[in-house]
Amino acid sequence: MSGTGAADLEGLRSCFRGRMYTDELDMGPFLTDWRRQWVGRSLAVVQPDSVEGVAAIVGWCRLHSVAVVPQGGNTGLSGGATPDTSGRSIVLSLMRLNRVRAVDPVNNTITVDAGCTLEAVQLAATAVGRYFPLSLAAEGTCTIGGNLATNAGGTGVLRFGNARELCLGLEVVTANGNIWNGLRGLRKDNTGYDLKDVFIGSEGTLGVITAAVVRLFPLPAQLLCGVLAVPSVEAAVSALGVAQGKGGQSLTGFELFSDVCVELVHRHTPGVRNPIGSASPWFVLIELQMQEGFDVTLLETLIEQLIEAGLVTDAAVAGSQQQVREFWALRENISEAQGVNGPAVKHDVSIPISSIASFVPEALEICARMFPLAQPVVFGHLGDGNLHFNFSLPSDSEPVDVQTHLEGLNQVVHDEVRLRKGSISAEHGLGVLRRDEAARYRDPVEASLMLALKHALDPAGILNPGKVLP
């Protein structure tokens, strides 16, 4: 990077007065990630409120050879939105680019600025009697631009797919400061390479997403929800097959969690309880979305069948929409409860569903043998083959012990995942957290294609350098 003088920065400030911060205190919240694992430095944080503003900033950075770190809600879990420590980058915060541009309930699409929070998109859809199904615990803060840049998953993937499947069109500011308007609301469009799919999941390394057209669905009339006690992961996988057969398109959630997860939530989240009193090594939260009326017998009949087949030992069914929310609170608070419990080693892996029943006990057995102090905290979106295969360490662990466990457990878990043709980053992206490990496992041809793409779209290497690719 060439030198950037105070006069150059003042030039930028004059265009973004009141929306550019250079004071350490003002910049602080933008320079560290959600989990406070990474802290970076920056020349400035700029918050444009128009796509032209974004293009001007990227153009300025290109001219001055300054790196651009796009940032949405800063809820990412892989360090992708945090600048490095060189102090030679600009954080481009999209939070003020937050208008709903158009809602089309006939075409079932909504066009939104990248800085709209996920919750704002959901609410705008509901206001016209439609449903935007992307949902995750950070939805009040994360942005649709960040969701697309990380190809976020969340709880509705089983039925509706992840962020990529929900997106029909994008507007992107390219590395040379041009604006690509690909805001098409089409379900069929074979007019060349699908450029939007190149930018989705690229974590700000190929372009800055400034707006998107996403798909909407009919509002579900009611949610049916139950918590099931299951004797093993194998039983849970079999129960998923039965539920898919009976529930079809209505099945929207099938979440697995262990008894340790329940115990952690009970200990750290006052007011959230497991509706099942009996002991069980594993539990499943099942959700069905019904278009017409509240037919709880559908879920009850399914559960009876699962009990008869020996796949479920006990169950609780939500009797109201309030109870549905309470059941989900049990699942959604696991990650946070583990966070406050003490040091943790976390993984976000996906495996073909057909291999999960063998993966979980076999990987747990190896980890228990090699790392007896690490307590498994396993939960996740079983219906998507995505598990958070986590471990908690004793609260009095020395930093050096935490580091040893981190490196050892990462290696064992990720090797077991790769053995089964799985992925070491299912929904959180690579950022800096998984960048080097992913490179180690990557096929050389795939690696060279990725590098070629990066060089073609960002020849000067100014877009989020050091993220995704080493």
Give me the residues that bind ligand FAD (CB under 6 A), please. Answer: 34, 69-77, 80-81, 94, 114, 136-138, 142-143, 145-147, 149-150, 152-154, 203-204, 208-209, 427-428, 431, 464, 467
Closest CA to 86 of 177, 172, 1: 1
Cβ proximity to ligand FAD: between 56 and 142 the closer is: 142
For ligand FAD, the nearest residue by Cβ is: 146
Q: Which letter does DSSP use for residue 29 in this model?
A: G
Cβ proximity to ligand FAD: between 280 and 464 the closer is: 464
Cβ proximity to ligand FAD: between 169 and 431 the closer is: 431
Q: ∠ CA 151-391-279 to the nearest 5 degrees? A: 105
What long-range pairs does 304-311 form, CB within 8 A, spacing at least 24?
305/242, 305/246, 306/228, 306/239, 306/242, 306/243, 309/238, 309/242, 310/231, 310/235, 311/230, 311/231, 311/235, 311/236, 311/238, 311/239, 311/242
Cβ proximity to ligand FAD: between 405 and 467 the closer is: 467
Q: Are 225 and 234 in contact (CB under 8 A)?
A: no
Closest approach of ligand FAD to the CB of residue 388, in Å: 9
Give the whole-angstrom CA distance, residue 244 versus residue 138.
28
Handedness of CA 321, 327, 331, 334 (dihedral sign): positive
Closest approach of ligand FAD to the CB of residue 409, in Å: 21
Cβ proximity to ligand FAD: between 256 and 312 the closer is: 256
Question: Could you tell me the CA-to-CA distances from 465 to 45, 145, 293, 301, 395 in Å, in that order?
Answer: 17, 18, 51, 53, 35
Closest approach of ligand FAD to the CB of residue 247, in Å: 21
Closest approach of ligand FAD to the CB of residue 116, in Å: 10
Q: Are 353 and 240 in contact (CB under 8 A)?
A: yes
Cβ proximity to ligand FAD: between 20 and 138 the closer is: 138
User: What residues are paired with 315 via a beta bridge?
Assistant: 228
HSE value, Cβ hemisphere, 13 Å, CA-based, for 114? 32
Closest CA to 101 of 249, 186, 210: 210
Q: Which letter does DSSP use for residue 459 in this model?
A: T
Closest approach of ligand FAD to the CB of residue 56, in Å: 16
Closest approach of ligand FAD to the CB of residue 206, in Å: 8
Cβ proximity to ligand FAD: between 71 and 423 the closer is: 71
Q: Which two tokens stand for residue 4?
A: 């950037």
> Phi and psi for 206 in degrees, rounded to 5?
-120, -20
Closest approach of ligand FAD to the CB of residue 393, in Å: 21
Q: State the angle between helix axes of 321-332 and 334-341 in degrees (0 to 180), rounded to the nearest 10.
A: 40
Cβ proximity to ligand FAD: between 303 and 344 the closer is: 344
Closest approach of ligand FAD to the CB of residue 148, in Å: 7
Closest approach of ligand FAD to the CB of residue 188, in Å: 26
Cβ proximity to ligand FAD: between 163 and 316 the closer is: 163
Cβ proximity to ligand FAD: between 215 and 428 the closer is: 428
Closest approach of ligand FAD to the CB of residue 372, in Å: 30
Q: Are 378 and 365 in contact (CB under 8 A)?
A: no
Q: Are 151 and 427 in contact (CB under 8 A)?
A: yes
